[in-house]
Amino acid sequence: MPRGFPVGRGMGGFGIDRYIKGYRDVPNVTLQILAGVEGISYANTVDGATTTLDFLEFFGESSNNFLPNGEPVLRYGDHILLDNHTTHHNEGRYALGWWMDQHGMEVVYLPTHLPEFSPIEFTFNKIKTVAKQENIRQSFHRNIHVGVYNCVERITGHDMRGFYRHTGYIAI
């Protein structure tokens, strides 16, 4: 993909605890990810549900990290696709919007109640499928954060291109 092309990156979070069958005492952990057509750019986990502060800190963390090729995770010209989670609105919306403007990025909000138009929903569906595999389930039992990252590692650039292609946001 040409360097100047504005890359769409979906950002989202979900509570992984609901998807781990057989472990009733699993704590609530929320996964936040940035995912573009090249794959997962950045991910972190938060104990419990995310707050607006967690949401904003996620962008601060991701802006200080680099992809394996040495490029920054967030780049000038990126378009960040957000769903309608409450942390993406109110104070978080204004603070993130200001920060994105300062860094030459744009926030695009996805349509409400239309998960079929959300690449991140397809990503989470694959993560949930991977989480059901026996070897992954065992890693959740030992350390839920490690289990989550084991799932994230299995999302490929090919997967993400398919998710974006399916939603129609980027012609690939």
Domains of the chain and CATH, by start? 8-166 (3.30.420.10)
| The pLDDT of residue 5 is above 60 | no
Residue 4 C-beta-side C-alpha neighbours within 13 Å: 0
Q: How confident is the model at residue 27 (pLDDT cuts 50, 70, 90)?
A: low
**What's the pLDDT tens digit per position in 138-150?**
888 788 888 899 9
- pLDDT score of 17: 41
Q: What share of the chain is helix, strand, coil (3-state, %, to 5)?
A: 45, 20, 35
Rounded Cα gap, residues 49 and 3, in angstroms: 35
